[in-house]
Amino acid sequence: MHQTLHLMKSRGFPHLRRKALTTLQVNLGYKCNQACFHCHVNASPDRTEMMAADTVDDVIAFMRANKVTTLDLTGGAPEMNQYFKTLVGAARLMGVRVIDRCNLTILAEPGYEDMAEFLASQQVEITASLPCYSQDNVDKQRGDGVFEVSIAVLKKLNALGYGAAASPLILNLVFNPQGAKLPPPQASLEADYHRLLQDNFGITFNQLFTITNMPIQRFGSTLISKGQFEGYMDLLVANFQSQNLESVMCRSMLSVDYLGYVYDCDFNQMLGLPLQHAQQLKTHLRDLMGVDLNGNAIVVKDHCYGCTAGQGSSCGGALEANTEQLLVAAE
């Protein structure tokens, strides 16, 4: 069991049940060309876990059998999986919307020079990590030189048509706060991103997503080492908004690990909390072909407060982007 899960005293997160499935979020492997301190996957260049060809085939078969409408690809850097293009191509042939959760810098790495053009040719939506519009803040969180490379890649994506107002090529950016605090209101921060990236670099994009850092894996370990874990959990609980329960991602999404096992969300995957189905200890995609999970109980623990605090947070950013966020200081 993971250290951060051990340290979570029970705060009684509400029970939840699934709605109709629309999105399959697939982790193609934990290998990444970066090792960001806030990464809840604990991804790095040293990780070797990667999805194999037969599991990719299972993903394709599941999408077909269960009429999935959105395929959300993550990692690590999902593009580093050798079957990434195969999976994207199969999904697009089925008319499935594909989202690539991209760290931007991978598109500048040797061997990936044609990846941006491939994504554009398949009309893949890009959700790209850019934790700030400031070079100092980005490099502090993600490593020296990351901001400069990210800006160069964003310019390349813009040149391909990504982020333009009338273009079908969607480019969204993701903000993660630094340290043990909640993100600021999404709408006002998005306006700052639009203005400063345009003024300083001529970069355009569609939307900004603000995502709360989850107290698990590398970020959770950092909180523990700094003596901030309980304080951060208190902050999340104090800012719980019950209206966010309706829109959290686990209600309409399944998370799949690199071996093909299924979880209610990516965070549960990282904590080893599998989907509950048919009294099985672990459920594989192959066990769910054509199965309707509507009404199935969702596995919840107190890390779930990270998705419901303040404006709420999911893979698509703030859940209540038009409401004023309440920030309660945790002692």
In CATH, what number is assigned to the domain containing residue 125?
Answer: 3.20.20.70
Host domain of residue 223 = 3-308
* Residues paired with residue 17 on neighbouring β-strands, in sequence order: 297
What's the pLDDT score for residue 3? 41
Say if 324 falls within a structural domain: no
Say if 131 falls within a structural domain: yes
CB-CB neighbours of 33 under 10 Å: 18
Q: 4, 216 in Cβ contact below 8 A?
A: yes
**Domain tally, the chain:** 1
Kindly report, residue by residue over 88-120, the tens digit of the pLDDT.
999 999 999 999 999 999 999 999 999 999 999
Say if 242 falls within a structural domain: yes
Say if 151 falls within a structural domain: yes
Determine what percent of the chain is predicted with pLDDT higher than 70: 85
Say if 113 falls within a structural domain: yes
Say if 74 falls within a structural domain: yes
Extract the tokens encoding 287: 């066990």
pLDDT under 70 in the chain at which residues?
A: 1-11, 35-42, 134-144, 311-331
Q: 63, 254 in Cβ contact below 8 A?
A: no
Say if 317 falls within a structural domain: no
Say if 325 falls within a structural domain: no
Q: 14, 230 in Cβ contact below 8 A?
A: no
DSSP 97: E
Predicted TM-score (pTM) of this structure:
0.88
For all residues of the chain together, what is the average pLDDT?
A: 86
What's the pLDDT score for residue 183? 85
Alpha-carbon distances, residue 73 vs 59, 62, 78, 298 (angstroms) = 11, 15, 6, 21
